[in-house]
C-alpha cells in the first residue's frame, strides 16, 4: 500500500461521505450509445474528468433497477471515481433495467465490455470493473468468459451481491441472518421479494392464475402506485393479503409456499446465477464490499463469496446499508468505520496502480 493510493482512497472516501448531487466534481457527463445484439443503439453514460489526464478506465454494471444508468447512486459513484482520473462507463443492461436477473444478462455484460474496449477513450491497459447487487453476481459469471481475458481487467469490485439465491430467498422470508451461533433480525427490503417474484412467478404453477398479481408487480416496479392499488382491489381477500404481504416484505404463509415452489421448479435458473455453484473458478482479483445492515442481500453472502473466491479482499461496512450511509451511529463508531473503509479502498487503488 503506497502513500499515493492511501491519499487517493482518503479523497475518494471524503467525497463519498460528503457527496453533493449538484456539484460537478470537475467531471463531464456524456450520454452516448453502444451497439446491442441487433445493432440497436443502447445507452452508455460516460464520465470524464475535465482537470486530469485520464490514465485509467472503470466500467460500472448496475443492479436490477428501472433507473439503470440514471440511478442516483450510479451517478454519484461515476462522478466521484471519474474525479480521481478515471474515464467511467455505465452501460445500460436492458434485462436488468426490466428487473430480469436471469443469465440473459451475462451475454449483455460481455457485449458491453467488448464494445467499450473499442472506444478511443478506453485505457485498455488499466481497467477496473464494478458490479452492484445482482449485477455483481452476474459480473462474476461473465468474467469467467474468454472475452474478459483479452484484455484482462486489473480487478473486479462487487458490492452487496448474492452468493446463493436460495439463502437470499430464506432471508427475504424470515428476516433472519445467521452468523456462527448467533442470529440477527433485519426487516427485509420489499424490493428483494418484488424482484424475485417478478422474475419467477410467471414460470411456476401455484395452482391459480397469477396474471393480475404479475401486472401489479409490474406497476409497482415502475412506481405506478395508483394503478397497482386499483388492480389489488380487483382480487379476492386472500390474494389481496398475499400481494400486500409481498409488497411490504411481510411474512405470509402463501408467499412462503410460492417461494418454495420457485426454489423447486426454477432450481436450474437459480443455479445459473448463484455464485455458490461456480465462483471457485473465478480467476480475477475481486474486492468484495457489503453493508452489514443491508436489508436486500444479507452480508453473510459476501462472507461466503470471500471464502470461495481465490483472490479476494473483503470489507463489511457497519456504516453502510444497501444504498447509503446509515446516520444512526455515534461519532467515534463512524470514525472507526471510515478508517476501515479508507484502508480497504487504499488496497483497491494500490492494486489498480493509483
Supply the CATH number for residue 91's domain: 3.40.50.1820
312 and 235 share one domain: no
What pLDDT is recorded for position 324?
46
Taking alpha carbons only, the member of 132, 320, 99, 135 closest to residue 223 is 99
Q: What is the pLDDT of residues 132-165, one digit of tens each?
A: 999 999 999 999 999 898 899 999 999 999 999 9
Q: What is the pLDDT of residue 322?
A: 47
Q: Which residues contact 137 (CB under 8 A, 6 or more apart)?
A: 131, 158, 161, 162, 163, 273, 274, 275
Same domain, 82 and 150: yes
* Domain end marker among 269, 286, 307: 269
CA distance linking residue 44 with residue 69, whole number of Å: 8
Q: Give the whole-angstrom CA distance, residue 160 versus residue 48.
A: 26
- Residue 12: in which H helix or E strand, if any? helix 3-17
Same domain, 248 and 171: yes
Residue 43 · residue 33 · CB < 8 Å? yes
pLDDT for 190 = 86
Q: Does residue 54 sit in the same domain as residue 140? A: yes
Distance from C-alpha of 310 to C-alpha of 282, rounded to nearest angstrom: 7
User: Under DSSP, is residue 307 helix (H, G, I), strand (E, B) or coil?
Assistant: helix
Q: Are residues 34 and 127 in the same domain?
A: yes
The CA-to-CA distance between both ends of the chain, in Å, stands at 10
Q: Which of 151, 140, 150, 144 is nearest to 286 (CA)?
A: 140
261 grid coordinates? 415452489
Cβ partners under 8 Å of residue 284, min gap 6: 143, 148, 152, 153, 155, 156, 311
Whole-structure pTM over 0.85, yes or no?
A: yes
Q: Which of 72, 73, 114, 109 is nearest to 92 (CA)?
A: 109
Number of domains in the chain: 2
- C-alpha to C-alpha distance for 112 and 91, rounded to whole angstroms: 6
Q: Do 94 and 170 belong to one domain?
A: no
| Residues in the chain where the model's pLDDT stays below 50 | 322-325
Q: Are residues 12 and 132 in the same domain?
A: yes
Q: Are 286 and 155 in contact (CB under 8 A)?
A: yes
Q: For cell 427475504, what's the residue?
A: 172
Q: Does residue 155 sit in the same domain as residue 82?
A: yes
Domain range for 287 is 3-163+275-351
| 3-state SS assignment for residue 260 | helix
CA Rg value for the chain: 20
Domain end: 238, 269, 300, which one? 269
Residues 10 and 99 in one domain: yes
Choosing from 269, 293, 313, the residue where a domain stops is 269
Q: What is the rounded distance in angstroms from the CA atom of residue 173 to the CA atom of residue 185?
A: 11
- Kindly state the cell numbers that stand for 80: 466521484
pLDDT for 38: 86
Q: Are residues 123 and 172 in the same domain?
A: no
Q: Helix (H, G, I), strand (E, B), or coil: what is residue 133?
A: coil
Amino acid at each position: 500500500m503506497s502513500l499515493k493510493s492511501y491519499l487517493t482512497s482518503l479523497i475518494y472516501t471524503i467525497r463519498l461521505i460528503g457527496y453533493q448531487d449538484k456539484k460537478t466534481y470537475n467531471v463531464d457527463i456524456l450520454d452516448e450509445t453502444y451497439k446491442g445484439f441487433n445493432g440497436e443503439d443502447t445507452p452508455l453514460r460516460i464520465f470524464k474528468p475535465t482537470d486530469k489526464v485520464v490514465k485509467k478506465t472503470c466500467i460500472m454494471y448496475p443492479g436490477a433497477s428501472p433507473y439503470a444508468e440514471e440511478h442516483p447512486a450510479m451517478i454519484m459513484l461515476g462522478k466521484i471515481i471519474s474525479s480521481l482520473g478515471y474515464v467511467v462507463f455505465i452501460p445500460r443492461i436492458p434485462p436488468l433495467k426490466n428487473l430480469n436477473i436471469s443469465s440473459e444478462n451475462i451475454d449483455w455484460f460481455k457485449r458491453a465490455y467488448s464494445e467499450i474496449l473499442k472506444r478511443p477513450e478506453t485505457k485498455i491497459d488499466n481497467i477496473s470493473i464494478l458490479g452492484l447487487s445482482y449485477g455483481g453476481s452476474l459480473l462474476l459469471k461473465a468474467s469467467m468468459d474468454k472475452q474478459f481475458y483479452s484484455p484482462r481487467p486489473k480487478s473486479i469490485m462487487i458490492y452487496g451481491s448474492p452468493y446463493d439465491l436460495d439463502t437470499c430467498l430464506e432471508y427475504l422470508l424470515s428476516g433472519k441472518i445467521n452468523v456462527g451461533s448467533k442470529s440477527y433480525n433485519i426487516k427485509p427490503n420489499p424490493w428483494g421479494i418484488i424482484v424475485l417474484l417478478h422474475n419467477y412467478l410467471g414460470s411456476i404453477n401455484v395452482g391459480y392464475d397469477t396474471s393480475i398479481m404479475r401486472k401489479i408487480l409490474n406497476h409497482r416496479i415502475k412506481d405506478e402506485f395508483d394503478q397497482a392499488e386499483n388492480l389489488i382491489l380487483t382480487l379476492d381477500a386472500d390474494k389481496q393479503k398475499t400481494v400486500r404481504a409481498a409488497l411490504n416484505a411481510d411474512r405470509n404463509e402463501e408467499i412462503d409456499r410460492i417461494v418454495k415452489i420457485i426454489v423447486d421448479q426454477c432450481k436450474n435458473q437459480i443455479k445459473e446465477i448463484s455464485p455458490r455453484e461456480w465462483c471457485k473458478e473465478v480467476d480475477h482479483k475481486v474486492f468484495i464490499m457489503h453493508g452489514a445492515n443491508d436489508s436486500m442481500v444479507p452480508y453473510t453472502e459476501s462472507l461466503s463469496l470471500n471464502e470461495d473466491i481465490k483472490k479476494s479482499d473483503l470489507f463489511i461496512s457497519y456504516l453502510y446499508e444497501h444504498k447509503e450511509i446509515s446516520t444512526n451511529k455515534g461519532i467515534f463508531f463512524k470514525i472507526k468505520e471510515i478508517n476501515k473503509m479508507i484502508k480497504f479502498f487504499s488496497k483497491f487503488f494500490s492494486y489498480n496502480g493509483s
